[in-house]
Amino acid sequence: MAKNLKIYSNSIHTGRLEANDLTFYLARDEETGERVVGVRDPSDAAQLPFTQLLFSQDGDQYFAPNPENAAILRQIIPWLNPAPMGAGEGGVEVPSFGFGDRLGLATPGHIHALRAVSSAGEIYPILAQQSVRENTRTGRTPQQVMDDAMWGVFQEGWQLPWGGDADHLKQESDLAAFVQAGYTFFTVDPGEYVDLAADTDALQVLNDKIGAQPWNEIGEIPIRQGELVDLYLTFCSAAGWPCDQSAVRQGSLRAFAKYGRAVIQITKMYRALKQLMPGSFDFEVSVDETETPTSLLEHFYIAGELKRLGVRFNSLAPRFPGRFEKGVDYIGDLVALEPELARHAAVMRHFGGYRLSLHSGSDKFSVYPLLMRHAGRSVHVKTAGTSYLEALRVEASLAPGLFRQALTLARQRYATDRLTYHVSADEARLPDPQSLADSALPGLLDDFHVRQALHVTFGSALANFGEELKHMLKTHPADYDQALLKHFIRHLEPLVPKA
Ligand SMILES: [Zn+2]
C-alpha cells in the first residue's frame, strides 16, 4: 500500500552528486510521524551513497534519517552545516540566541519563531546547543544533538547561517567529541578553578595564592598587580566612574587570586581547541555559575588577561547580581541590576570584539530590554530547558496521564536533581497531580515551583517516559510548534530593533 507522505516543501534542494542533478527533501510518514529522506534522480544514473533504504514510491527513494545519511547530506547541502559568527571586524553584528533542545524535536518550532520576528537574519541562531551536563542526563551524544538540529534545519529550509554550541565544557577531554560532531561555538566553564575564598581571604593569603598559580603550565607570566591597578584606574576615570584607589588595589588583588587559575584553564582549553579545529570557531567564556556576582574589576581582569594571552573569545557570560534561575524571570532588584549591566557593557566595549552573554536566559523578560539598552547588539542569550517545558505543556493537555507521571516523578526527584542547578522552587509547593482535574494541568506550566521542578528533573523524566513523550510530539507536531512559537516570540521580539 502506498505511504501517505507529507513533503516538507521548504526542504526541497537540488544538489549535485557525481555530475548528476538530484533533488533531496525531507518528508513525514503521516502514519508513524517519522521523517524520511526523499531522493529524486531524474537521470536514474547516480550511485546513491545513502544507507538504509526504507522504500521507493513514485520513482523516488526514501532513506532513514540516520547519522550516515546526515553526514552525506551535509556534504551536498551547504546550509546544513553550522558556521561560526565571528566577532568584531568581519563578524556578525546582530544579537545571537541559543536554543537548547533536550528532546531533539524543537528546531522547527525555533525556526518558526525566528521567522516570525526577523525576516532577514536580525538574530543569529545557535540551533544545536547542549552542555556536557545535559548530555549526561539525556543520554544523547554531541553528534545526536547536532544531527537532530540539522534535521530541523533541513525540514524548515533554514538557509541563513546558524551555529552549534558545545556548552559548559569543563576539561580538555570534553572537546574532541564536539569538534568531531562539527560544533562551531565552544563555551568554556572554568568554574572549578575559581577560588571563591579569595573574596574574604587576608591580603597575605591572596599574595600566597597568586604566587602559587601555575602560570608555567601555559608558559606565560601573569600581569603585574600594579599594572592591573593602573589599567583599571585609567579605564575607570575615563568612564567617569567613582574609583577609590585603595579599593581598586585590594579588588584587583582579589580578582587576580580568584580568577588567575580560571584564566590559565581557559587558555589551555582555547589552545587545545586551536589544535583540534582546522578553521575558525566561536569561543565563549562563562563564569555565570560561580556563587558570587562577577565584579567589574573581575570582568576587567578576565577579559584583559585573555586578550593579552591571545585568547580570541567572542562572548563572556558574567554572573550578574540577583538570581538568574532556570525557567523563570529575574529574581532581584532591577533598579540595581541596570547600572551594573551598563558598566559590564562598558568593560566589554573597552576591550571590544566580544558579546555579553546571558545564561539561564529563558524567561528573563524583564532583563532583555535592559541588556539591549546597554549592550546593544553585542548580546548572546542562552536558553536550554524551556523547549522541554513547552513539550510538557503540550503533554499536559494532550496526554494528561503521562504528564501526571512526569510531575509525580518530579516531586520525588527534585530534592536530588536540583543540586547542580540554580533553582529555589519549594518542594512542599508542588501539587499532587492526582488531586487535580485534567483541565488544571496545562496551567501548572506557568507555576514557578512546578516549572523549576520539571525543568531540573528532565533527566529522570526522559529516562522513564522519554519515548512516550517524543512519540506524542511526533504525532502532534503542530501542537508543539504552536507552543514553541508563542514561547520564543516573547523571547526574540525584545532582541530585534523596532523599525
Ligand atoms: Zn550557563
Mean pLDDT for the stretch of residues 148-161: 97
Tens digits of residue pLDDT in 307-355: 999 999 999 999 999 999 988 999 999 999 999 999 999 999 999 999 9
Give the pLDDT of residue 327.
87
In the 8-state DSSP scheme, what is residue 91?
Answer: S
Give the pLDDT of residue 93.
83
Q: Is 52 left (phi over 0), alpha (psi -120 to 50) or beta?
A: left
Catalytic option among 134, 147, 165, 167: 167
Question: How far, in Å, is the centroid of ligand 1 from the Cα of 359?
Answer: 5
DSSP string covering 267-333, please? Answer: HHHHHHHHHH-SS--EEEEE-TTSSSPPPHHHHHHHHHHHHHTT---SEEE---SSB--TTS--BS-
Which candidate, 466, 455, 465, places its Cα nearest to that of 418? 455
| Residue pair 70/151 in contact by the 8 Å Cβ criterion | yes
71-109 core/surface letters (b: 16 or more CB in 10 A; e: else) = ebbbeebebbbbbbbbbeeebbebbbbbbbbbbbbbbbb
Q: Which residue has the cell 547530506?
A: 73
CA distance 355 to 345: 9
| Residue pair 48/24 in contact by the 8 Å Cβ criterion | no
Question: How far, in Å, is the centroid of ligand 1 from the Cα of 130?
Answer: 11
| Residue pair 57/27 in contact by the 8 Å Cβ criterion | no
All cell numbers assigned to 354: 566580544
Tens digits of residue pLDDT in 178-213: 999 999 999 999 999 999 999 999 999 999 999 999
Question: How far, in Å, is the centroid of ligand 1 from the Cα of 421?
Answer: 10
For CA atoms 130, 441, 436, 422, the dihedral sign is positive
Give the pLDDT of residue 291.
86
Summary mean pLDDT of the chain: 94
All cell numbers assigned to 51: 544507507
Q: Which residue has the cell 544507507?
A: 51
Give the pLDDT of residue 89.
56
Domain ranges, ordered by start, for the chain: 5-76, 386-491
CA distance 457 to 11: 35
Higher pLDDT, 488 or 1: 488
| pLDDT at position 229 over 90 | yes
Question: How far, in Å, is the centroid of ligand 1 from the Cα of 357?
Answer: 9
Q: Predicted confidence band at 88 (pLDDT cuts at 50, 70, 90)?
A: low
| Residue partners of 272: CB distance under 8 A and separation at least 6 | 172, 175
Q: Predicted confidence band at 492 (pLDDT cuts at 50, 70, 90)?
A: very high
Which candidate, 9, 41, 46, places its Cα nearest to that of 25? 9
In the 8-state DSSP scheme, what is residue 223?
Answer: P
Report H helices in 429-476.
448-456, 458-475
Tens digits of residue pLDDT in 402-461: 999 999 999 999 999 998 788 899 999 999 999 999 999 999 999 999 999 999 999 999
Is 93 a known active-site residue? no
Q: Which residue has the cell 577579559?
A: 303
Give the pLDDT of residue 499.
59
Give the pLDDT of residue 19.
86
Question: How far, in Å, is the centroid of ligand 1 from the Cα of 21?
Answer: 44
Question: How far, in Å, is the centroid of ligand 1 from the Cα of 382?
Answer: 8
Tens digits of residue pLDDT in 354-367: 999 999 999 999 99
| Residue pair 387/106 in contact by the 8 Å Cβ criterion | yes
CA distance 14 to 20: 10
Using alpha carbons, list the distances in angstroms from residue 40 to 19, 58, 64, 358.
Answer: 14, 10, 15, 44
Tens digits of residue pLDDT in 448-457: 999 999 999 9
| pLDDT at position 285 over 80 | yes
Catalytic option among 174, 284, 298, 340: 284
Q: What phi and psi, each to the nearest 5 degrees, are found at residue 144?
A: -65, -40
Which candidate, 251, 255, 257, 246, places its Cα nearest to that of 206? 257
| Residue partners of 410: CB distance under 8 A and separation at least 6 | 430, 450, 453, 454, 457, 460, 461
Using alpha carbons, list the distances in angstroms from residue 133 to 150, 172, 187, 386, 488.
Answer: 21, 15, 13, 16, 24
Mean pLDDT for the stretch of residues 67-89: 91
| Residue partners of 435: CB distance under 8 A and separation at least 6 | none
Is 447 a known active-site residue? no
Q: Which protein residues have their CB within 5 A of the ion that is ligand 1? A: 288, 359
Question: How far, in Å, is the centroid of ligand 1 from the Cα of 200?
Answer: 25
Mean pLDDT for the stretch of residues 115-124: 90
